[in-house]
Structure 1
Amino acid sequence: MGDGRGAVGGRPAWLQYYDLVGKIGEGTYGLVFLARIKHRKGCIAIKKFKQSKEGDGISPTAIREIMLLREISHENVVRLVNVHINHADMSLYLAFDYAEHDLYEIIRHHREKLNHPINQYTVKSLLWQLLNGLNYLHSNWIIHRDLKPSNILVMGEGEEHGVVKIADFGLARIYQAPLKPLYENGVVVTIWYRAPELLLGAKHYTSAVDMWAVGCIFAELLTLKPLFQGVEVKGTPNPFQLDQLDKIFKVLGHPTPEKWPTLTYLPYWLNDQQHIQAHKYDNPALHSYVHLQQKSQAYDLLSKMLEYDPQRRITAAAALEHEYFRMDPLPGRNALVPSQPGEKAVNYPARPVDTTTDFEGTTSVQPSQSVSSGNAVPGSVAAAAVVAPRQVPRPMPMVGMQRMPGGGMAPFNIASQAGMGGLNPGNIPMQRGVAAPAHQQQLRRKDPGMGMQNTGYPQQRRRF
């Protein structure tokens, strides 16, 4: 871990190891920057946390995110490389492996530049890897709570080309034994990807909210536009989002207590009879919105992800075993390569880089740099947006798709430094880079599929 001691010219000493390129994003609780690593090839993403609202030091949200990220290690989850603190102003910086692409930019490229759908192999590979990472998180009792295309990264050229990384854990929580009901955390999940139980005021919710968001992302990969694009009401801490519910009901039909037994207990269902209960939505047509045949395996999986009742909604583990992933084309580890011989690879642009923003988020980083049409920065890893032709992908058997703990991040007990215990709220120690230990597994709910991680890419079933 680096700190601000030994600062030169008012800048933290750890910055000497990087050349700042610019801002690549703005997360839930901070800014994300792209930086070149000096003295060796490569780039890194650095997330700077905003000051705590009280202005009295490091944000509890930052500490929570660090504690979670240090305890997890999986190929389909972004890797925390290092943590830096500038003691002068108690600003906190997290360094991650840099991912060149994200699903938002990939979808936008197909919609605005190419004007044709993402190929089936890429959709299936992106979705399978997203589910694989999410199954790992859920198996370790972590809900992400902010899944959306811009938070699903995809690695560029290199050993992990085309590998999906779930990112931005600013809203993530351990949900096995929360210290207080999760609804007290306030609004979660960007509205277009927010599950109906949240929209109707549920005070308790589970990992099923993540699966609803995955269903929305799946549909967006197929159609290149958000499935439920409601207009958000702002102002109060948790306002009633009637327009978003209206968008969902028009596609999926009106929810009923028969299909969703606990529906009648939800606050907004009870309190807004005029708009919610009285307004009937006929002829639901999810298949027509996503252009899928109702008997197809893709439609079957999507409809199970968008099940109204969270208890009936498919889990990540069960989704990974769905027949959709056992049919040609099988998903592969590199989602960005052609699925057929002779098929041309798509040259996906890198994530946009704002070269006018420095670590303080205000002034110019350096003399103006030209940014290519692919939004890549010349001379950096981000410039390698051209995908070279590769051989046709094949399924790669992997054990849980895990990365073994490496030496990239120096040991650092953020919990002890923050005056917090090294245990999660359920007082169950989590092991870095492995599935939950046996004593933790015994405490799990008996939910279908909430057990072991997926053991690798599916093998095609023999058809007789």
Structure 2
Amino acid sequence: MRSLRSAVGAWLAFERLLLRVPVPSWNLGPGNPRQRARPAWLQQYELVGKIGEGTYGLVYLARRQQPLHRGVRIAIKKFKQSKEGDGVSPTAIREIMLLRECIHDNIVKLVNVHINYVDMSLYLAFDYAEHDLYEIIRHHREKLSSPINQYTVKSLLWQILNGLNYLHSNWIIHRDLKPSNILVMGDGEEQGVVKIGDFGLARVHQAPLKPLCDNGVVVTIWYRAPELLLGAKHYTSAVDMWAVGCIFAELLTLKPLFQGIEDKNGQNPFQLDQLDKIFKTLGHPTADRWPTLLNLPFWQANRNLIQGRKYENPGLYSIVQQPAKSPAFDLLSKMLEYDPAKRISAAQALDHQYFRTEPLPGRNALVPGSPGEKVVHYPARPVDYSTDFDGSTAPPQSNTNLAPQQQQRGEHMMQVPAMHQPLHLPAIQRMPQNNMNNFSSVNQQGRRKEPDSGNQNYNNYQPLNKSRRM
């Protein structure tokens, strides 16, 4: 615990330093922003285009220019300035703080951090993942009109839980799990490997123990747990497991399970329409089923309004089209348990019978699950080629390194991969969860330890190093 306090103290000192760095006087010159002198770090990358935009900033696709990594694609996330306009966004600081310590196969890898002192904008460079679950689900729903094969669903879900178990074992709650934040590598040695991304809302919890409700509304509404919607003062990593349950259902049905309409008036976490969608599927919660329900602020205040609505409960199994006694439905129902204390954990889910029945999950989620099954060529995430790093629009830069098909369609043409090789699930090893002092350490350089090529079980944790300082 003392090392944790030291690490937090060191990081807070670094944060204060970032917020007070003086802005140098640069001769930017007149004219178009593209004509301005660019910092040296930006010359390490060749911009391809913009691949995403969110509340906290923009995400770009670029290629590395260094001789050892020339042409390697990388995702660069540019954070907007803090609302106070006085320095680096606190969201960016949190994301750096966590990702520089999280080393795991199923967690997105932070490659570098850059600061543009002209406008105090921060750029985070990540390994580029060509796909995300949102685009994979949409491709099956709108282009193929067919479900995702069982092997791919199982492999995607197992890897999500594997990464989440690592986070929860290290007292980290992600708090923003949704399909667009679940990335999937498209080629190379990590083809088909899942990477949990976007740690802007992630928090360390229980060290020290404090109410997390002070952080405001968390989790995109369709994936928000009922205890959050009912104003829980304290919540746990169980909120992530509810979100994973929603994602699991979406992988099975190709549509969001609880598609509520968010009331954005104020910061009140109570969302009646979202609760309505949940209760229509799972039925009303009761004190017998959820003993702490009566203590939740918005349950007491809105109890009559909530219980006044009557539902003809169709049953979750009919929506996800899974037999009520199947392993898939059993796992899903345990993820969507109302009582957070009874909700299945990531570690327990990894041991569930669902992952021990055929087809077994594999490291590469994008290959066929059985002989004769067709390979699905998923499109890469869309790229806007007309946007520069500073947000201005400009003609596309040279894309000579792209294949002609990619220039026309923005798609990655995957080669037909070999059949998957299942994981040896009985050999799963997990981190102890009793306290933070049980952390093992990464090597001194903080680099990822590559899994043994002869071991098909890739669940090799590289946990936080308590000897390092934030």
TM class, shorter-length: 0.7 to 0.9
1:76 positional shift: 0.3
| Aligned-residue identity in percent | 69
1:238 positional shift: 2.0
1:196-251 Cα distance to aligned partner (Å, 9 max, x none): 00001111100000000000000000000000000000020125210000000000
1:235 paired with 2:265, answer yes
Change (3 A) 1:324 1:366: same
Hey, what's the Cα distance between the residues in 2 that align with 1:365 and 1:286?
50
1:405-455 Cα distance to aligned partner (Å, 9 max, x none): xxxxxxxxxxxxxxxxxxxxx997976649xxxxxxxxxxxxxxxxxxxx7
1:352 paired with 2:382, answer yes
1:363-403 Cα distance to aligned partner (Å, 9 max, x none): 22536979x9x998539xx966223222221124598799x
For 1:173, which of 200, 203, 206 is the aligned residue? 203
2:41 corresponding residue in structure 1: 14
- The code of the aligned residue for 1:258 comes to D
Hey, what's the Cα distance between the residues in 2 that align with 1:227 and 1:213?
10
Change (3 A) 1:215 1:89: same
Per the alignment, in what secondary structure is the counterpart of residue 258 of structure 1? coil
1:9-408 alignment to 2 at 5 Å? Answer: 9-38=36-65, 39=67, 40-178=70-208, 180-364=210-394, 366=396, 377-378=406-407, 385-397=412-424
Hey, what's the Cα distance between the residues in 2 that align with 1:401 and 1:81?
27
1:259-297 Cα distance to aligned partner (Å, 9 max, x none): 000000111110012321332334350000000000100
Q: Is the 8 A contact 2:382 2:410 kept in 1?
A: no
Change (3 A) 1:393 1:427: closer
Hey, what's the Cα distance between the residues in 1 that align with 2:383 and 2:27?
27
Hey, what's the Cα distance between the residues in 2 that align with 1:295 and 1:123?
19
Hey, what's the Cα distance between the residues in 2 that align with 1:273 and 1:329?
44
Hey, what's the Cα distance between the residues in 1 that align with 2:134 and 2:96?
25
Hey, what's the Cα distance between the residues in 2 that align with 1:332 and 1:188?
32
- The code of the aligned residue for 1:311 comes to A
1:122-175 Cα distance to aligned partner (Å, 9 max, x none): 000000000000000000000000000000000011000000000000000001
Per the alignment, in what secondary structure is the counterpart of residue 273 of structure 1? helix
Q: Is the 8 A contact 1:194 1:213 kept in 2?
A: yes
Q: Is the 8 A contact 2:406 2:412 kept in 1?
A: no
Per the alignment, in what secondary structure is the counterpart of residue 165 of structure 1? strand
Change (3 A) 1:333 1:233: same
Hey, what's the Cα distance between the residues in 1 that align with 2:199 and 2:324?
35
Q: Is the 8 A contact 1:19 1:37 kept in 2?
A: yes
Change (3 A) 1:28 1:315: farther
Aligned length: 408
Change (3 A) 1:153 1:142: same
Hey, what's the Cα distance between the residues in 1 that align with 2:122 and 2:395?
19
Hey, what's the Cα distance between the residues in 1 that align with 2:405 and 2:124?
22
Hey, what's the Cα distance between the residues in 1 that align with 2:248 and 2:232?
24
In structure 1, list runs of 5 or more residues that go unmatched. Answer: 403-425, 435-454, 458-464
Hey, what's the Cα distance between the residues in 2 that align with 1:95 and 1:26?
15
- The code of the aligned residue for 2:353 comes to E
- The code of the aligned residue for 2:407 comes to P
Per the alignment, in what secondary structure is the counterpart of residue 341 of structure 1? coil
The structure with the greater share of residues assigned to helix is: 2
Hey, what's the Cα distance between the residues in 2 that align with 1:12 and 1:376?
33
1:64-113 Cα distance to aligned partner (Å, 9 max, x none): 11010011100000000001111222111100000000000000000000
- The code of the aligned residue for 1:117 comes to P
1:276-322 Cα distance to aligned partner (Å, 9 max, x none): 13323343500000000001000000000000000000000000000
Hey, what's the Cα distance between the residues in 1 that align with 2:83 and 2:121?
13
- The code of the aligned residue for 2:63 comes to R
Q: Is the 8 A contact 1:233 1:239 kept in 2?
A: no
Hey, what's the Cα distance between the residues in 2 that align with 1:377 and 1:180?
49
Hey, what's the Cα distance between the residues in 2 that align with 1:276 and 1:152?
33
Per the alignment, in what secondary structure is the counterpart of residue 347 of structure 1? coil
Hey, what's the Cα distance between the residues in 1 that align with 2:171 and 2:236?
10
Hey, what's the Cα distance between the residues in 1 that align with 2:404 and 2:344?
37
Q: Is the 8 A contact 1:21 1:33 kept in 2?
A: yes
- The code of the aligned residue for 2:149 comes to N
Hey, what's the Cα distance between the residues in 1 that align with 2:438 and 2:77?
26
1:334-390 Cα distance to aligned partner (Å, 9 max, x none): 0000011121100100001112222222322536979x9x998539xx966223222
- The code of the aligned residue for 2:296 comes to L
Hey, what's the Cα distance between the residues in 2 that align with 1:73 and 1:28?
26
Greater mean deviation of Cα atoms: 219-228 or 33-42: 33-42
- The code of the aligned residue for 2:421 comes to R
1:12 positional shift: 1.6
